[in-house]
Amino acid sequence: MIIDSHCHLNDSDLAPFADNIVCDFANDGLIAAINVGFDIPSSKLAVEQANKYNNVFAAIGMHPHDSRLMADSDYDLLRDLAKNEKVVAIGEIGLDYHYNLSPRDIQRDVFEKQIILADELKLPIILHVREAYEDTREILENNKQYLNNGVLLHCYSGSAEMVKVFDKYDCYYAFGGAITFKNAKHNLESLKAVRTDRLLFETDCPYMTPVPFRGQMNEPKYINLVLDKASEILEMDRDELAKISVNNTLSLFKKMHIN
């Protein structure tokens, strides 16, 4: 049994099927999932869905793609949403220099403000980082006094060497479908560089579908394929690795209470 530490049941492609997906969690070997917001509407929906499903929890925040849309009033809205007991993190937040859908200076400003907000709310942060690991490191360093509740590098795509850098901030690292891809050598080296007590797994569904279903819509149940690959690469017993990742997830997201 495992926890999907990052999914998007609030995405328009998955939301219509959320009832059936969550209903099948037990049969699919899932204990729970964290449903992650990426803008204000999706954060609201993540909370609504978490309230509806006992074993779904929510993260709320503004993704770097849409950080240009973040208004001052939205920080207060996130504060209000975070009062809900099912909200376990601020995320996904961070920097994306691949698409640059928001100006980089705005991305950095909104990222920093959400780090401070998370500390105020005593919540961990879930980071989206793409082609921006050095700037992310700099922001974490400049705001390390606010990193009191945990940091997760979601869908980690940085190098094995950068793991040592982010370990200074006591980061956790989540791996998903990318480790099953044919060209995954870089990801596998990073996976092996992470301490097992800081390792989580995710699907990032409906994106990043693992092999052999790549090209189809991803779902939380495919986290089993990620776990299979990770246990093979790390040469660890699959059930033991699942247990470790569940314990790590609950250690990071302290507001998660599994019945």
To the nearest 10°, report the CA torsion of 226, 230, 233, 237: -130
Domain segments of the chain: what residues? 2-252
pTM over 0.95: yes
Tens digit of pLDDT for each residue in 78-93? 999 999 999 999 999 9
Could you say which residues of the chain have pLDDT below 50?
A: none
Of residues 247, 242, 259, the one with CA closest to residue 28: 242
Q: Does domain 2-252 have CATH number 3.20.20.140?
A: yes
pLDDT value of residue 250:
98
Alpha helix (H) ranges present in 24-127? 40-52, 72-81, 104-121
